[in-house]
Each structure stands twice: as structure tokens, then as C-alpha cells.
Amino acid sequence: MPGQKPIKVALLGCGTVGTEVVRLLTDQAADLTARVGAPVELAGIAVRKPNKHREVPAELLTTDVDGLVESDVDVVVEVVGGIEPARTWLLKALHGGKSVVTANKALLAEHSGELFQAADSTGADLYFEAAVAGAIPLLRPLRESLAGDRITRVMGIVNGTTNFILSGMDSTGASYSETLEEATRLGYAEADPTADVDGFDAASKAAILASLAFHSRVTAADVHREGIASVSAADIAAAKGLGRTVKLLAICERVTSAGGESISVRVHPAMIPRTHPLAGVNGAFNAVFVEADAAGEMMFYGRGAGGAPTASAVLGDLVAVARNRVVSGRGPRESAYAALPVRPMGQAPTRYHISLDVADRPGVLSQVAAVFAEHDVSIAAVRQEGRVDDASLVIVTHAATDAALRSTVDKIGGLPVVREVVSVMRVEGEET
């Protein structure tokens, strides 16, 4: 397209992802021009320390972020991460009519409403495919392909670090702390792994997924969050014994009850059957299972992190917003019209697996079962095995509210016949 006015791009941040974005923009310049209908030109790269970025053209580097955002660029690509100053920069860009492509899950999970409003005020685009599940095209399918369907459930493995640790515990039988140490040594876990292992990263992604799937504004604070630090080797062994495996899941569900529709959105470890498509997703891979009324079950699988995969998602969005500029169109806006309320975790329907060490004498099962009945929790399966002095009792429940299940477990733990509550874990991915 010689003669076509180029689309000018400002890049904020030049770490692992940013460097790959620059590389792809350069290597594929001719292809991108043909796909967009105009050349895509990198106008500047904002970094803190220009002398630390020898792999990108020096003349593009600047420390003046505001100046770059306020210059005559068409698109601002943000790969810095964190809430501030990214929020301020992107609001300024959108208010200035610049389209925004960002990989910033934490920001989106907190401030998507404000960002979308700013985009709306000037007709700019806001795209963020790279914020969830890296290279896997997931947000565009939810936001566009399934826009004519009614999504009922999104359930996925969206954090590679925790999946690497849980896969490792499953294959070696080692403890959580040993496996975390190994993951850190291999570079799969950061020196401070809190954001990953405590589920903050997955919770941000769950908020974004729930917002798109249910056309409602869900923030990270709405997400019930449990990490994997309390997953024990005993939990993993208990799962194995039942043909299950433990995964950290981000779950977004539409719940229909007498009071109307609401959303359950949560991140916690859960046992899933080894035959479930998510069970085979190991190591640093991500996968998300989606259920919709008309489409049925779908799964999206691929690399959830890393410089090149994330950059691929950023570039896809960049081509989309650049095309929109060329044809004076625009992409989908925020769709939060349904405004479904988020259900507290206590009211979320879930199922528990409970593994107990109990005294090996008659009447134990009936005492334990009475506690379930008292809390109106129905039992789906029981397995009891005698040992020398004591016995193991494994119970899997039908669906009940999380609050009822939790009270049941608390009360059972206090029964004199129960020597130890060995493992308690939610069960997902099977018919109730």
C-alpha cells in the first residue's frame, strides 16, 4: 500500500514481551502492511533505562512516556504491567483518541470500566487478548465468536507456574515446597512467587473472563481466591487414588436460582477426572474449557506465557486496531449490560472430596453420614478401607453450597471418631 498513511505505534515497556513485539514488527513489516492495508510504524519505545536495551533501535528509545503518548501516534501498546502508572498512561492515550493494546491483566481486572469509558468517549479501541492465556486466542472468541450464544461456564488452567508445580507434584509425589523450589530453580517460578501461587494472577484473569462471558463488570476483588500453597502430597495421592488429578482452576459460572441469575467466579485447586480434557494439560501450558447453550463444549489450548507467545497475541490485536483505523471502523466496546451480581463463595454450588482417618469400629460411617445429612449435603460416593488400627474413609459429595460443605467438614473434624482430616478438596469437571 504505497502512499497509505502509516499507522504509528507507541510501545510502552520493552522487557521480554516488548522486545518480541519489536522483533515481530520489524521481521514481518511487509506482511503486516499487506494485512493491515497500511504500513505499521514503530514511533517510539518508552523505557526507564534506555542504555539497557541494546537489542532495539536506540533512536526509538525514550524515557518521556507522556510525551510519547501525547505525540501523533495512532496506537499505544502497553506491556509494562502493574496498575500505576500504566492506568494513567492508558487513560491519557484513550482520552487522546489513541487505540490501546495491552497485556495488563491486573489493570484490566481492576479498571476495565474506566478504561472502556475513556475509549468510548473518543471512539478508540481497547484490545487485550494477551492479558489472559498468552497466545491462545480466547478473549476474541468469547467477545465475538460466541456473541450470539449464551455462555454458561468458563473453566480453565490460566497460570503456568502453578500448573507446572501441580503437574510436578502429581508425577513425583513430592511436597509443595520441594516442587516450588525446583520450579524456581528452573525459572518456572519467580523469586517471589506470591502472585502465582496465591492465585492473584489467575484471579485477575478470571475477572476478565467472567466480564466477557457474562456481559457484566467483574473485578479481581469479586473473585474468591485460594492458592496452591496448602495443597499437600496427601491431597495429590488422594486424587490419584480416585482417578483424578489436582489443578488450580479459574472458574466462571452462570448460576440460575429462584432469585434470578448470578455469577460464581473463583480460583481454587480442585480435583478433576483424569479423563477430563483439562487433566492432560501439563507444565507451562494453559487451556480453557468453555460451555455455551448452543455451541456446547469447547476447549482452547496453547502456551499461556512467554515473550513470543504473548507478543503474538499483542500483534494480533495491533493488526485489528490498525485495520480499524484504516477503514474508520472500531472493534467491540464494553458489553456489561447484563450486570449480573456476583454470588458470595458461600453460596456457590460446588462438590467436596473429603478423606478422613477414622477409628476402625462399627458406627463410624453412620456418625459421619449423620453430619452430612444435618447440613443437607447429599453423599455421592463413599469408600472405606480398614488398616491395622484405624481406617480411611473417603467421601465425595453431590453439589451443595460451599458454606454447607465447609460447615460439614468443620463439624466432622471435631468428631471423636475422626483421627485426622487428611484431605479436603473441591471436585470439578464431572456430572453431579
Stretch that binds a second copy, among 8-16, 226-234, 315-323, 411-419 (CB under 8 A): 315-323
In the list 4, 121, 145, 378, the residue contacting a second copy (rule: CB under 8 A) is 145
- Residue 326 in contact with residue 99, Cβ under 8 Å? no
CB of 32: closest distance to a second copy in angstroms? 7
Contact 168, 183 (CB under 8 A): yes
Contact status: 369 vs a second copy (CB under 8 A): no
Does residue 205 carry a catalytic annotation? Answer: yes
The CB-of-267 to a second copy minimum distance in angstroms stands at 23
For the sheet containing 40-46, what is the strand order?
Answer: 61-62, 40-46, 7-12, 75-78, 99-102, 126-127
Give residues with Cβ within 8 angstroms of 296, minimum separation 6. none
Quick check: 296 binds a second copy (CB under 8 A)? yes
Residue 298 sits in the site that holds a second copy (CB under 8 A)? yes
Closest CA to 13 of 225, 310, 231: 310
Q: Is 32 an interacting residue with respect to a second copy (CB under 8 A)?
A: yes
In the complex, the smallest distance separating the C-beta of residue 296 from a second copy, rounded to whole angstroms, is: 4
Among 43, 106, 132, 136, contact with a second copy (rule: CB under 8 A): 136
Which string of x and - marks every residue 150-189 that binds a second copy (by CB under 8 A)? x---------------------------------------
DSSP 5: P
Cβ neighbour number for residue 266 with a 10 Å cutoff: 27
Active site residue: 5, 8, 52, 205, which one?
A: 205
C-alpha cell at 24: 515481530
Q: Which helix (H) or strand (E) holds 10?
A: strand 7-12
What single letter denotes the amino acid at residue 62? T
Query: Are residues 417 and 359 in contact, defined by beta-carbon separation less than 8 angstroms?
Result: yes
Cell for 410?
A: 468443620
Q: How far is the CB of 52 from a second copy (least distance, A)?
A: 23
HSE-CB at 386 with a 13 A cutoff on CA atoms is 6
Interface stretch with a second copy, choices 63-71, 132-140, 227-235, 391-399 (CB under 8 A): 132-140
Among 116, 164, 176, 301, binds a second copy (CB under 8 A): 301
One character per residue 222-261, x = contact with a second copy (rule: CB under 8 A): ----------------------------------------
Quick one: which H or E segment has residue 28?
none
Closest to 333 (Cα-Cα) out of 180, 113, 145, 35: 113
Residue 300 interacting with a second copy (CB under 8 A): yes
User: Site residues (CB under 8 A) for a second copy?
Assistant: 20, 24, 28, 31-32, 34-35, 129, 135-137, 140-141, 144-150, 215, 277, 280, 292-303, 306, 308-309, 311-320, 323-324, 327-330, 332, 335, 337-338
Q: What are the catalytic residues? A: 205
